[in-house]
Amino acid sequence: MDVFAKLLGSNILVTSFLGNSQLACYPFKTFEGEPIRTISPKPPQNTLLIFLTRSKTIIKSPLEHYFYRAILVGLGVVNKSTSDFPTGKGVIRVDVPAKLERIWVNLPKPLNMSLEFIPFTAKGDRSRIFLNLSRQNSFSLLKSNVWCRKQVSRTFSTSSECATLTEDNEPSKAEKFRLSEQFLSKYQDVIPPFGFNGLGEMVYRRTYSRLKEDERVVNGTFNIQKRWIEQNGLTWDSIKAQESAQSMYDKIFNMKFLPPGRGLWAMGSPLTEERHLSSALNNCAFVSTEKMFDGSSSISTPFTFLFDASMLGVGVGFDTKGANSDESKLHVIMNPNISRPFTTYVIEDSREGWVKSVGMLIDSYFYENVGPYQFDYSQIRPPGLPIKGFGGISSGAEPLMRLHTHISRLLSENIGKPLSVTNIVDIMNLIGKCVVSGNVRRVAEISFGDPNDVEYINLKNYDINPHRREYGWASNNSVFAPLGFDYTTICDRVIKNGEPGFAWLDNARAYSRMCDPPDHKDMYAQGGNPCLEQTLESYELCCLVETFPTNHTSLDDFLDTLYSAFLYAKTVTLERTHWPQSNAIMLRNRRIGCGLSGVAQFISQRGLAELKTWCEEGYKHIQNVDKEISKWFCVPNSIKTTTIKPSGTVSLLAGATPGMHYPESRYCIRRVRLSKNSELIDPLEKIGFKIEQDVVESSSLVVEIPIDHGEGIRSLKELSMWEQLSLAAFLQKYWSDNQVSCTVTFDPETEGPQLKYALDYFQYQLKGISFLPRMPLGAYAQMPIEAISSEQYENIISSLLPQSTPTSTITGAKQKNLKVDFQNFQSKDKSDPEIERYCDTNTCVLDPDVW
C-alpha cells in the first residue's frame, strides 16, 4: 500500500484495473491542484481501488464527528475488503470478478458518510449517485443504478456494454442493523412497565429472555428488512430505519404492542439469524388431507408436516377429508413389501431425522416400492442432555420408538382397508403425544371433521373408543358446520365436554370483516389454526402480533402503535420457511393477524362505543399501512390483516386480560410453574411469594402471584353465554378480517339447553366458536387461575416485600399493587429458554396432565 501513500490526501480518485490492461487514469486534480497521471508499479489484475478521505465538514453524530466523502469510479464488483481503513483517510483494495454486479464495501467500524459514485460514458459525461449511510459497517450500490461503459482507452473493451447492478454475489457477512447505543442508553435505568405485580416480568425472564441484549427482537426485525431490501436491489434508508426501529423499541418497551411469544423467543436469535428457521417465527398452521392421495406428494406428507411444525413449536390444524374418499379407496393400507430386503435407516439426532423416519414408515404401508425399513436409533442423544438453540432437555429415543410402534400397530390392524377418519386423527394425535414426550411439554392441534360423521363426533367418547384415552387429548376437535345446520344432536356432546367446536368455512371464505360486503378473498381457505383466530389454506402458516389499547392515552397514540406492530408482522412474511408448499401460499397471501388484547379492560374503562371507534379507525389505518409497507417491500398487500387471538402469557407481560376474554374475577391468584433449578426462585422467596411443590411434575415448583385486573371489570361468571357470543360477533364485525378466537364459558345446566338456539343466530355473524362448560372452583389441584376476594388480595399484598403502593379506592378502601423489580437480578444460567409453543394460551394448547 506504500505506492498509494501519496494519494491519501486526495479528494478524488479515478482508477480502474481490468485484466492485464494498463492503468486507466483520468486527469482529476487533488486538493493541492496536482493532477493524477500514473501509478506504478501496477496493482494486481482485477482490482478496484477506493480512496476515502476526510474533509473539514462536521456532522453532529453520537459516534463520529467527521464526514467521510468517498468518490468511486470504476467498473467491477467489490467482492471482499483486503485492507485496513485508517482513521480519517485510507485505501480499500478489493478483488473484482469479471462480471459487473453490485458494488459492496465493508468498513471496519460504523461511520456517518455520504457515498458519491461517478459512472463514466465514452464522452466523459458524469452522473452522480449519492447514498447516505448512518451507523453501518457496509454499503452497496443498488440495483436501480445502471452505467454504460464504452471504449475510452485501451483499458476497456472495444464493444459497447451495459450492466445493471444486481443482488448477486453479496458478501457473506453483510453488516447487521443495530439500534443506536445512545438511544438505548436512555432506557438503561428505566424499569419496563411489566404487569400484574411482577408476574409479567417473571414470565418474560422464564420464557422469553435470552442472554443477548434486550434490543434483540427489534434488531432481528430490521435485519430481516435490510436483507430483503439489499437482496432485491431496493433502497435501504438507514436513517429512516433507525428512526422506525427506535419507535418500535419504545412501543415494545412500554407494552403498547408485543410480538407473539414465538417472536419474543426466536426473533434475532441464532435460530433465525444463523440457522434461518423462520418457521419458528410463525404461530400456527393448517394442513388438509384432502389431496394426500392425488400423487402430488407422498401420502405421509400431511403427517410429517404436522410433526415437523409441532417440533418447531407451531400449532397445527388438520382435517379428515382424505378418509373414505374415492382416491383413498385406490390406496388401501397394505403390508410393507417383505419380499424386498430391509433397509436400515440410521436416524439422525435432529428434528429432520425424526420427521423423515415417520414419513418413511407411513409410506411403506402404501407403496410397494418403499421399504420395508428397520430403524437404528443409536445416533439419537441419550436423555437428560441440554438441547442447544431450542432449549430444554433431551428425552432420548424412547418417545420416537413408541411412536413408530404405535403407527405400525395401527396400520397393521387395518391392512386392506382405506385410511379412515379415526386412523387420520389417531396418527396425528400419536405424533402430538410424541412431541409432548420428546422435550415439548405441550402441543397444539385441532382437527376438523364432518358434523354428520358419527365416527368423528364420537372420537372423544371414551366409552366407545377407550383406546383413544391415551392420546385423544392431543387435539381439540371441531367441525366444519354448513350454514343452516341443525345443531340439536351435536350440542349434546358440547354440553358434556365442550366439544366439538364450530367453524363456518362459508363465512371465512366469503367475508373479511362481517360488516363489509363479501369479497371472497379467502376462496381457497380450507381450515384454521388451533385457536380458530386465523383462516388458512392448506400448508399455510400465520404470523400474529398483539396490541394493548388500554396502554394508550389516545386514539392517535394507538394508531401510531399499529404502524410498528404491523411492520413487525409484515417483516416476518419476508422470510421463507423450509417447506416449499408453504412458501408458495405465503408469498401470495402475506397473511397477518394484528390483534387486540385487554378488550375487557378497555370496555370497563372507556365503554363499548369508544371500542367501536378505535376498531373502525384502527382497521382503516392498518389497510393504509399495509399498502405503504407492501409498496416499500415490493410485495403483495396482505390478504387478511387483523384478528383477535386468545393470548395468554404475552398479555401477562403487559398486564392485560387475554384477547376478548374476561377474567375469572377482578382479583385472582395466578399460578406459574418454574423449574426447581430456576434462578428466579431465590428472589421470589425473598419477596415472600408462596412457593410449593408441583403436584404433577416432581422437578417443578408452583409460584402463586396475586393479580388485580383493574377497577370496574366484571368477572366471567357475571357474563352470560349470550353476551360473550355478542362480543365475539362485535369484534368479528368491526375489527377482525380473519377470525375471532373465543371460547364461551357456559353453565351446562342453565345455559346448555340454549346452545342450539345461540348457534342458530350466531352462525351468520361468526367464522368460528368453541365452548367450555364452567368448572367448579378447585376442580383440580393448583389450577392456573383462582378467583379471590378483595380482602384476600389485600392481605397477600400487604405481607409481601417490597412495600406495596396504594393505587385506587373502592368502597372507601385503598387497594394496593406490588412493584416487583428484577432489574438487579443477574442470571447465571447460560442455557437457552425452552422453545415457546404456538399461541401461548391454555384454551388451545393441550396438556396431558389435565386430562
Q: Is 158 exposed, middle or buried (0-12, 13-18, 19+ CB in 10 A)?
A: exposed
Determine the pLDDT at residue 384.
75
With bands split at pLDDT 50, 70 and 90, how would you rate the model's confidence at 46?
Answer: very low
Q: Is 830 exposed, middle or buried (0-12, 13-18, 19+ CB in 10 A)?
A: exposed
Record the pTM. Answer: 0.76
Amino acid at 706: P
User: Using one digit for the tens of pLDDT, what is the confidence trace for 210-231?
Assistant: 434 568 999 999 999 999 999 9
Average pLDDT over the chain reads: 76
Q: What distance, in Å, lies between the first and last C-alpha atoms of the chain?
A: 74
Which grid coordinates are listed for 101?
Answer: 454486479
Cα separation, 194 vs 18, in Å, equals 60
> If you average pLDDT over residues 437-462, what whole number do you get?
85
Q: How many Cβ atoms from other residues are within 10 Å of residue 711's Cβ?
A: 14
Residue 589 pLDDT: 97
How many whole angstroms separate alpha carbon 272 and alpha carbon 265? Answer: 10
Q: Is the pLDDT of residue 197 over 50?
A: yes
Look at 440-449, 654-663, 706-715, 836-845 and tell me which has the smallest mean pLDDT: 836-845
The backbone torsions φ and ψ at residue 217, rounded to the nearest 5 degrees and listed phi first, read -65, -45
Per-residue pLDDT at 70 exceeds 60 = no
Contact at 8 Å (CB) between 104 and 139? yes
Highest mean pLDDT among 3-17, 20-34, 289-303: 289-303
DSSP code per residue over 325-341: -HHHHTS------TTSP
Tabulate helix, strand, coil % of the chain (nearest 5): 30, 20, 50
Residue 514 has pLDDT above 90, yes or no: yes
Cell 382479583 -> residue:
667
Q: Which residues pair with 447 in a beta bridge?
A: 318, 477
Q: Which among 456, 461, 444, 464 has a CA at the least distance from the CA of 481?
A: 456
CA-based nearest residue to 276, from 578, 540, 589, 635: 578
* The pLDDT of residue 540: 97
527-528 and 535-536 strand pairing: antiparallel
Cis peptide bond N-terminal to 35, omega within 30? no
For range 52-76, the mean pLDDT: 30
Q: Which three cell numbers stand for residue 467?
A: 383406546
8 Å CB contact between 7 and 15: no
Q: Which residue has the higher pLDDT, 654 or 737?
A: 737
pLDDT reported for residue 700: 83
For the cut 70, the answer to whether the pLDDT of residue 345 exceeds it is yes
State residue 313's pLDDT score. 85
Question: Which is more confident, 615 or 214?
Answer: 615
- Give the three-class secondary structure for 151: coil
- Residue whose C-alpha is closest to residue 90's, from 114, 107, 112: 107
Find, among 205, 819, 732, 244, the residue nearest to 507 by Cα. Answer: 732
- 166 within 8 A of 143, measured Cβ to Cβ: yes
Return the half-sphere exposure (C-beta side, CA atoms, 13 A cut-off) of residue 393. 5
What's the number of CA atoms in the CB half-sphere (13 Å) around residue 427? 31
Q: Is the pLDDT of residue 720 over 50?
A: yes
Q: Which among 585, 799, 617 is positioned nearest to 704, based on CA atoms?
A: 799
Q: Given its phi and psi angles, is residue 603 left (phi above 0), alpha (psi -120 to 50 degrees) or beta?
A: alpha
pLDDT at residue number 761: 97
Of the residues 531, 542, 742, 844, which is catalytic? 531
DSSP string, 46-105: SEEEEEEEE-S-----SS-SS-EEEEE--SS----B-S---SS-EEEEEE--SS----EE
Q: Mean pLDDT across the stretch 245-263?
A: 93
CB–CB of 360/345 below 8 Å? yes
Query: Is the CB of residue 316 less than 8 Å from the CB of residue 475?
Result: no
Does 824 have pLDDT greater than 90? no
- The radius of gyration of the chain from alpha carbons, rounded to an integer in Å, stands at 31
For the segment 23-39, what is each residue's pLDDT rounded down to a tens digit? 232 222 332 333 333 33
**pLDDT, greater one: 810 or 229:** 229
Reading phi first (left if > 0) and then psi (alpha if -120 to 50, else beta), residue 107 is in beta
For residue 258, give the H/E element and its range.
strand 257-258
- Residue 284 known to be catalytic: no
Q: Among 307-316, 472-481, 693-702, 833-842, whose mean pLDDT is lowest?
A: 833-842
On the question of a cis peptide bond just before residue 382, with omega within 30 degrees of 0, the verdict is no
Question: What's the rounded mean pLDDT across residues 258-287?
Answer: 87
| 3 state DSSP class of 351 | helix
- pLDDT of 168 above 70: no
| Burial (Cβ within 10 Å: 0-12, 13-18, ≥19) of residue 63 | middle
Q: Which of 50-64, 709-723, 760-774, 785-799 has the lowest mean pLDDT?
A: 50-64
Q: What band does 836 get if pLDDT is binned at 50, 70 and 90?
A: very low
**Hey, is 586 helix, strand or coil?**
helix
pLDDT band at 848 (very low <50, low <70, confident <90, very high): very low
Task: Please give the backbone phi and psi of residue 523, each rounded to the nearest 5 degrees, phi first.
Answer: -65, -20
Q: What is the DSSP pairing of strand 805-810 with strand 284-287?
A: unpaired
What is the per-residue pLDDT across 537-594, written as a single tens digit (0 to 9) for each? 999 999 999 999 999 999 999 999 999 999 999 999 999 999 999 999 999 999 999 9
Residue 530: how many other CB atoms lie within 10 Å: 32
- Work out the number of other CB atoms within 10 angstroms of the CB of residue 714: 16
For 255, 320, 332, the CA distances from 449, given in Å and listed in that order, are 39, 6, 21
Report residue 37 as a C-alpha cell: 497521471
- What is the structure's pLDDT at 79? 30
Q: Which residues contact 486 (CB under 8 A, 6 or more apart)?
A: none
Q: Given its phi and psi angles, is residue 316 left (phi above 0), alpha (psi -120 to 50 degrees) or beta? A: beta
Per-residue pLDDT of 756-777, as tens digits, reads 999 999 999 999 999 999 877 6
Residue 470 pLDDT > 80? yes
Q: Contacts by 678-681 with C-beta closer than 8 Å and gap 24+?
A: 678/206, 678/829, 679/825, 679/827, 679/828, 679/829, 680/202, 680/205, 680/206, 680/822, 680/825
Looking at per-residue confidence, does 498 or 389 come out higher? Answer: 498
Contacts made by residues 801-809, CB under 8 angstroms, sequence distance 24+:
801/686, 801/687, 801/688, 802/687, 808/711
DSSP classification of residue 1: -
CB-count burial class (<10 Å; 0-12, 13-18, 19+) for 778: exposed
Q: Is 520 left (phi over 0), alpha (psi -120 to 50) or beta?
A: left
Closest CA to 463 of 493, 483, 506, 503: 493
Q: How confident is the model at residue 685 (pLDDT cuts 50, 70, 90)?
A: confident
Greatest distance between any 2 Cα atoms in the chain: 98
User: What would the grid cell of residue 267 be?
Assistant: 426473533
pLDDT tier, 327 (very low <50, low <70, confident <90, very high otherwise) = confident
Q: Is 533 a catalytic residue?
A: yes
Cis omega (within 30 of 0) on the bond before 451? Answer: no
pLDDT value of position 183: 94
Of the candidates 170, 533, 540, 664, the residue annotated as catalytic is 533
CA distances from 113 to 53, 58, 173, 175, 243 (A): 11, 11, 21, 15, 17
More confident residue, 371 or 519: 519
Q: How far is CA 127 from the centre of its chain?
A: 43
Is the per-residue pLDDT at 408 higher than 90? yes
